[in-house]
Amino acid sequence: MEKFKVTFHPDNKTVAIDKGKTLLSAAISLGLNLNSSCAGDGVCGRCKVLIKKGQVSTLPTGRITAEERRQGLYLACLTTALSDIEVEIPETSRLDLSKISEEEAYLSRLKGVYSTPESIEKSEALIKKDIFLHSPLATKLYLKLPKPTTEDKISDLERLYREIRKIKDVPIMQTGLANIRRLGSMLRSADFKVTVMLGNRNDTTEIILIEQGNTAKNNYGIAFDIGTTTISGQLIDLNTKKVLGTKASFNQQATFGSDVITRIVYAQKEEGLERLHHAVIDGMNDIIQDLIRENNIDLNNVTCCMCAGNTTMIHLLLRVDPTYIRRDPYVPTANFVPVIRAQETGIKINPRGLLSCVPGISSYVGGDITAGVLACGMDREEDLCLLIDVGTNGEIALGNREWMISAAASAGPAFEGSGVSCGMRASKGAIQKVKIDKKNLSASFTTIADEPPRGICGSGYIDILAEMLKIGIMDKNGKINDIKSERIQNGEFGREFVLTDNIHINEVDIDNLKRAKGAIYAAASILIKHMGLDFKDVKKIFLCGGFGTYVDMENAITIGLLPDIERSRFRFVGNSSLAGAKEILLSADAIHKAEDIARKITYFELSTDAKYMDEYIAALFFPHTDLDKFPSIKF
């Protein structure tokens, strides 16, 4: 096979690739993170690179303008080398995978993970203290064993079991050979005073590890929310239940596609599954390292992880092929994953530590929703509740302690900044809050971390749409009105409203956002109708995710993303997936509760429901075709 050398600048990294391999795959093999939200299908137009030297072959695309072509720009995913070449990666084509600093995350209230414990307690929606018995996934018990005597000669292992059973009711106890091999000498050198680490493993108790002396006070766990866009981890003292720190980082899988579908497609490529798996594991390990370093904790004292995530993320975390998730009839390999050793996935905590996943509901409603329902206490509510999680996808759950139903809206990642021309994730420089002056149509805005504006994130778009609608820049259909203003311009993709140099919103963007918000509203609406109810019957709406902590509620209702009901019924619950994972990490009761929830929730398939399409089309207006549904919205 003929090979060509590809050198990337300004990184100055070179790789030899087989003829026919794309420049995107060359960049990936060097660990260079190009933006590519469509996973290399030539659709998103984000992986533009500049060919400086050499011959290439490319496929036709509407994502490169004539001007760009003249400049020498190509889509890396559609272009192959015909000779040794030199390539420049523009800054705008790079995926920002920088860590999310605490300050920055606090400012953006990114996914709500930085809510203080106080603010969580204040929210009546979130778990009340001590609902669940304190019984973490891994527990340490300090034991002073009676020494063997002629009268008491049971074996070392049975002696250990006997002592544990004096303290805890353990019907089925398991131990690995590694522990048994060390037991005899350890007990004697520790003068029969040892600490056992007990793991709650699939309804049995495993002696995970035995340590000399009293180490019971050093026992930490990590709760994870593994989002398609963001991974959040929280270090928890398993003895005191105290949260010692929280970290978030972007999911590095974004290099291989911005939503779950493109990642499933990528997983089927050569080494695709391996790469996606390592991307999420590396991100989680980085978070663990940061957390233990800042808290001065020995990695060996981190004994367990609890992971909540959508079904595809959990498959990729475990390196389980997600292919069948997107093949009719959309069946995952596992919704209930057995507890395993973290090491089996590559997660680096205590080598014998455990990893558990919050059980999922279906292919498109995962354990993050189970955890969210648990954290919000929906399963304990007498009142009718609605949970809306607008992340990279949009998931809805409706119900109360009697029944529950859920659906996944194919909203797409527009609110995460994907598929919109100036969209970006809620990271540094993202326009997050916008006001438009009625008179001169000038936009005033704030950006995350007060950096110079680089793009617009979800909450910014919601504000912009609502403002444009209220002021009359945009009609109910999403068309920009023909207003004479330097702010309104005609572009390649229809009229556009200019916020500032290089940052604008065009009619194609509006259309994408409209479809995203329509999909979510329609999903909630169809579930409610399916149950013979009305939005008025909903007593509590839990808004989860970044959405649930930062969005301007009034603006979200104005554009028809959220239903127009009494404002006091809304609860902003932040990262309820992480909050739930933490509870489940801390209690076997909560594990069982999560299993009950996952089994109890009926999954409603929207894609095959004829009425859903009607609902969806009706929602493709701002706020809605039927204005009676939005009585308080007047303009």
> Which of these segments, 65-73, 200-208, 509-517, 523-531, binds its own copies (CB under 8 A)?
200-208
CB of 204 to its own copies, least distance (A): 6
Q: What is the DSSP string of 357-387?
A: EPPPSSSSS-HHHHHHHHHHTGGG-SS-EEE
Name the token pair of 163.
């002592």
Residue located via tokens 């438009």:
436
Decide if 7 contacts 86 (C-beta within 8 A).
Answer: yes
- Binding segment (CB under 8 A) for its own copies, from list 54-62, 184-192, 447-455, 523-531: 184-192
d(CA 20, CA 36): 19
H-type helices in 15-174, by residue range? 23-29, 66-71, 102-108, 117-122, 156-167
- Toward its own copies, which CB reaches closer, 214 or 323? 323
How far apart (Å, rounded) are the C-alpha atoms in residues 483 and 472?
A: 9
Residues from 27 through 86 that contact its own copies (CB under 8 A): none
> Binding pattern to its own copies, positions 576-615, x when CB under 8 A?
---------------------------x-x--x-------
Q: Structure tokens of 448? A: 């995350």
Pick the closer one to its own copies by CB: 157 or 533.
157
Q: Which is nearer to its own copies, 106 or 330 (CB)?
A: 330
CA distance 235 to 243: 6
Select 175 or 421, whichever has its Cβ closest to its own copies.
Answer: 175
> Shortest approach of its own copies to residue 287 CB, angstroms?
21
Which amino acid, residue 574? G
Nearer to its own copies, 69 or 181 (CB): 181
The whole-angstrom separation of Cα 514 and Cα 415 is 10
Among residues 13 and 269, whose Cβ is nearest to its own copies?
A: 269
Indicate the residue among 301 and 335 with the shorter CB distance to its own copies.
335
Question: Which amino acid, one-letter code, is at 3?
Answer: K
Query: What are the beta bridge partners of residue 505?
Result: 497
Among 260, 308, 318, 465, binds its own copies (CB under 8 A): 318
Looking only at residues 122 through 181 of this chain, which bind its own copies when binding is defined by CB under 8 A? 148-150, 153-159, 172-177, 180-181
Q: How many residues does the chain have?
A: 635
Q: How far is the CB of 545 from its own copies (least distance, A)?
A: 24
Residue 158 CB, shortest distance to its own copies, in Å, is 6
Size of the site for its own copies (CB under 8 A): 50
Could you give the CA distance from residue 628 to residue 164 in angstroms, rounded to a whole number? 64
- Contacts of its own copies in 481-540 (CB under 8 A): none
Q: Which of 368, 293, 280, 435 is nearest to 579 (CA)?
A: 368
Q: Does 188 bind its own copies (CB under 8 A)?
A: yes
Nearest approach in angstroms of CB 397 to its own copies is: 17
Among 245, 332, 417, 563, binds its own copies (CB under 8 A): 332
352 Rama sector, left if φ>0, alpha if ψ -120 to 50, beta otherwise: alpha
- H or E element that contains 542: strand 540-544
Give CA–CA dist 585/599, Å, rounded.
19
Note the maximum CA span of the chain: 100
Of 209 and 556, CB closest to its own copies: 209
Bridge partners (DSSP) of residue 603 are: 406
Is 237 one of the binding residues for its own copies (CB under 8 A)? no
- Pick one of 230, 312, 362, 525: the residue that binds its own copies (CB under 8 A): 362
Binding residues (CB under 8 A) for its own copies: these are: 148-150, 153-159, 172-177, 180-181, 183-185, 188, 202-204, 318-321, 323-324, 328-338, 340, 344-345, 362-363, 603, 605, 608
